[in-house]
Amino acid sequence: MSKTILITGTSNGFGNDVARTLAAAGHRVFATMRDINGRHREAALELQSQGIETLELDVTDDASVDAAFKALFAKTGGKLDVLINNAGIAAGGIQETFTPEQTRAMFDVNVFGIQRVTRAALPSMHQAKAGLIINIGSILGRVTLPFFALYGASKHAVEAVTEGYRYELSQQGIDVVLVQPGPYPTKLYTAIQKPADPARADSYGDVAKMPAAFEEFLGGLFASENAPNPHDIATAIVDIIAQPSGQRSNRVVVGLDFGAIAANTAIAPIQAKLVADIGMEHLNTLKTQ
């Protein structure tokens, strides 16, 4: 069955591929991005050429989010079946070398952006008593790699935000799923944010060389015959949307997991017991019509 779907961060990477793939699968897709008439104009035109509707949306700006959803609902009669929170940025390096402003900007996209966009989407889903929200997290929301801790911290936050939404919306018939990708050769990694204060690494000795060494490792992985295929994410999302409400996994790891699957498996019963112990076990089950 065709769904009405809005995706954030579709100028490149996962979001762009997901938009194309879902449209090819017969869904009505609204691809959103910043600077739709500026630096991302070519990306928007290419999506439009494939029958995908595009909207200007900056996840860090309340007015932009509100305007995008006003335009969306004007086109769909107030309908939205699926929201995919994909927009994100990454940072790699010694934490001390990143400024507070850089850290704040990353959290504004990766965490606060999800909150802004989801708040705008939910009234329509509440009215329908149905819907699906897919948040794109990371395996680094479960396991921590040295020199990616700030990015991982934002994705740890996405873990909590997503879990909370899943409980809070379960009795409204709104399903919430977290996708946890491993590393993939997308612009997220190839254009990773660099420290604005690199001189602070001078006192770290040989440790200061390690972020570059890890980048070389990723470069080698991405250039190898066994390089992860970013299309895996689009394929996984198509499958998630096709699954019946109430039968979806809470978390879906895609690609190299670096132990995230084991972490998910270990934490799941602990989390379930916690919710049961406080008398809220029913929130673990999606209420469907």
Per DSSP, the residues of 28-59 read: EEEEEES-TTTTTHHHHHHHHHTT-EEEE--T
Flag whether pLDDT at 188 surpasses 70. no
In the chain, the amino acid numbered 242 is: A
pLDDT at 199: 96
Flag whether pLDDT at 217 surpasses 90. no
Give the mean model confidence (pLDDT) for residues 153-178: 98
Please indicate whether residue 94 or residue 217 has the higher confidence score (pLDDT): 94
Flag whether pLDDT at 92 surpasses 80. yes
pLDDT at 78: 97
The mean pLDDT of the chain is 95
Stated pTM of the model: 0.96
> pLDDT, tens digit, for every residue of 103-116?
999 999 999 999 99
> pLDDT, tens digit, for every residue of 221-236?
888 888 889 999 999 9
Q: Which residue has the tokens 């997220």?
A: 188
Q: Cβ-count burial of 285 within 10 angstroms (0-12 exposed, 13-18 middle, 19+ buried)? A: exposed
Flag whether pLDDT at 186 surpasses 80. no
> pLDDT, tens digit, for every residue of 9-21?
999 999 999 999 9
208-243 exposure pattern, b = at least 16 Cβ within 10 A, e = fewer:
beebeebbeebeeebeeeeebebebbbebbeebbee
What secondary structure letter does DSSP report for 259? Answer: T
Question: In the structure, how many helices (H) and strands (E) does the chain have?
Answer: 10, 7
Flag whether pLDDT at 191 surpasses 90. no
3-state helix, strand, coil in the chain (%, to 5): 55, 15, 30
Measured distance CA(38)–CA(58) in Å, rounded: 13
Measured distance CA(181)–CA(254) in Å, rounded: 5
Q: Three-class SS of residue 88?
A: coil
> pLDDT, tens digit, for every residue of 78-90?
999 999 999 999 9
Give the mean model confidence (pLDDT) for residues 211-225: 84
Rg (the chain; Cα; Å): 19
Catalytic residue numbers read 151
Give the mean model confidence (pLDDT) for residues 33-61: 96
pLDDT at 215: 83
Q: What percent of the chain has pLDDT over 70?
A: 99
Domains of the chain: 4-284 (3.40.50.720)
Give the mean model confidence (pLDDT) for residues 203-209: 95
The set of residues, in sequence order, having a beta carbon less than 8 Å from that of 70 and lying 6+ positions away, is none
Measured distance CA(170)–CA(250) in Å, rounded: 12
pLDDT at 190: 65
